[in-house]
Amino acid sequence: MKILMPTIFHPYMGGITFHVENIINNLNNLGDYEFHILNYKSKGIDNSNNNYNNININNIHIHEVPYIPKLRGISYTHKGYKIGKELLNDIDIDIIHSHYAFPQGFVGALLRNKYNIPHILTLHGSDVLKLSKNPVGKLFFNYAIKNCDKIICVSEFLKNQLPKSYRNKTEVVYNGVDFDLFYDTSEDESYGLFVGSFVPQKGIDILIDAVKDIDFNFKLIGDGVLFDAIKNKIDKENISNIELLGKKNQKEVSEYIKKCSFLVLPSISEGLGMVLLEAMASGKATIGTNVGGIPELIKDNYNGFLVEPKNPNILREKINILIDDKDLKKKMGENGKRFSKRFSWKETAKRIDGIYKELLNR
């Protein structure tokens, strides 16, 4: 089965890249697959095979799409559609599976309509929560969801945000956990951890206000548009208990998670929050905000605490409880570890394999 995937992929790091990597690895165990990926051209990034982690690259073909940085979406659409047409003219593609609504899903929709090939669109979070609310972005979003044969959402929350007329062709397929990377080592080096993009919707400024006066260390992993502003805030206020670690690869992230005391995700909006499951698989208690798909993962007072967003006082209170009550922290970690077993990439791939076959049988 030949799959065309408009998506972001290695060497770019991030949630969608890891999602695609894991479903490809596990789909390869289920059948004879060949993947053609329309990826952003890597400018100044090492694109050697070492960046592809443990992927069997023999059946993966990366087609780099040139783009203009300040016009990334529009330029990817123009070039990606052109490259996609060339591929579809040369290769007997069975299914188009796009990840993210724009520009990837938009390109997939254009190709689907021109070549009458089944199109699946996986929505990952901010495309539903932000893009669809933007006056211009919603035009591309609506075209993408209209012109696909199946929509996959990574949480029930995201599915419920879609117009009702589209929910009958939408399935929720949760992300999985890489249990080879994330597992309980019973290590605790006494620090709280945040992992995520430094963007407004992650609520990092709220986290800093909550913990800056706590006598406990915190490490923040990630980068993004707010990184410099966050660093300046820490320097200006002389905050000594917060360490910015910058971007880390998945293996490095797993090591920090396995050694932390607990993980905090103070998001203002969130499609699901995969890092919470990874922390649970590692036997860690979690704290997350009661937004988006997070309540589908954190069961309050069972495997962590749910708090209201934008409230540093409540967040500080729950963090202090986990610092002081080691027995509760351990119990939540054990409960989280059991809960995380429901989520595996193997099962995710089985669901996607079934969707592919269903569409082809139509």
353 and 261 in a single domain? The answer is no
pLDDT tens-digit readout, 192-207: 999 999 999 999 999 9
Distance, in Å, from the CA atom of 334 to the CA atom of 351, rounded to the nearest integer, reads: 28
In a domain, 64, yes or no: yes
102 and 54 in a single domain? The answer is yes
**Structural domain for 354, as ranges:** 2-176+344-361
Q: At how many degrees (to 10) do helices 274-281 and 250-259 cross?
A: 60
Q: Residue 218 pairs with which residues in a beta bridge?
A: 192, 242
In a domain, 184, yes or no: no
In a domain, 183, yes or no: no
Q: Nearest to residue 110, comparing CAs of 146, 158, 61?
A: 146
Strand order in the sheet with 217-221: 242-246, 217-221, 191-195, 262-265, 285-289, 304-307
pTM exceeds 0.85, yes or no: yes
pLDDT tens-digit readout, 133-172: 999 999 999 999 999 999 999 999 999 999 999 999 999 9
203 and 121 in a single domain? The answer is no
214 and 282 in a single domain? The answer is yes
Give the confidence band of 362 by pLDDT, cuts at 50, 70, 90.
confident
Strand order in the sheet with 60-65: 60-65, 34-40, 2-6, 95-99, 119-123, 150-153, 170-172
Mean pLDDT computed over every residue of the chain: 94
pLDDT tens-digit readout, 27-58: 999 999 999 999 999 875 554 443 444 455 67
330 and 354 in a single domain? The answer is no
What local confidence, expressed as pLDDT, does residue 56 receive? 53
In a domain, 181, yes or no: no
Distance, in Å, from the CA atom of 261 to the CA atom of 159, rounded to the nearest integer, reads: 33
In a domain, 252, yes or no: yes
Report the domain count for the chain.
Answer: 2
In a domain, 132, yes or no: yes
pLDDT tens-digit readout, 250-274: 999 999 999 999 999 999 999 999 9
21 and 98 in a single domain? The answer is yes
All residues at 6 or more sequence positions from 296 whose CB lies less than 8 Å from its CB, including other chains: 155, 156, 157, 272
61 and 153 in a single domain? The answer is yes
19 and 165 in a single domain? The answer is yes
213 and 264 in a single domain? The answer is yes
Cα dihedral across residues 25, 27, 30, 35: positive or negative: negative
- For residue 177, the one-letter residue type is V
Which alpha helices (H) appear in the chain, and where do they start and end?
Answer: 15-27, 72-90, 106-115, 126-129, 137-146, 156-161, 204-211, 227-236, 250-259, 274-281, 312-324, 326-340, 345-361
Cα dihedral across residues 147, 152, 158, 164: positive or negative: positive
Percent of the chain with pLDDT over 70: 96
Torsion of CA 235, 239, 242, 247, to 10 degrees: -10
The backbone torsions φ and ψ at residue 37, rounded to the nearest 5 degrees and listed phi first, read: -105, 125
At 101, which helix (H) or strand (E)? Answer: none
Distance, in Å, from the CA atom of 84 to the CA atom of 114, rounded to the nearest integer, reads: 11
Report the relative pairing of strands 150-153 and 170-172 from DSSP bridges: parallel
All residues at 6 or more sequence positions from 11 whose CB lies less than 8 Å from its CB, including other chains: 42, 45, 46, 47, 51
What local confidence, expressed as pLDDT, does residue 52 receive? 45
pLDDT tens-digit readout, 331-345: 999 999 999 999 999
223 and 329 in a single domain? The answer is yes
In a domain, 182, yes or no: no
42 and 150 in a single domain? The answer is yes
Distance, in Å, from the CA atom of 348 to the CA atom of 350, rounded to the nearest integer, reads: 5
98 and 31 in a single domain? The answer is yes
In a domain, 278, yes or no: yes
pLDDT tens-digit readout, 275-334: 999 999 999 999 999 999 999 999 999 999 999 999 999 999 999 999 999 999 999 999
Torsion of CA 118, 29, 10, 120, to 10 degrees: 20
Percent of the chain with pLDDT over 90: 93
Can you give the CATH number for the domain in which 265 is found? 3.40.50.2000
Distance, in Å, from the CA atom of 40 to the CA atom of 66, rounded to the nearest integer, reads: 6
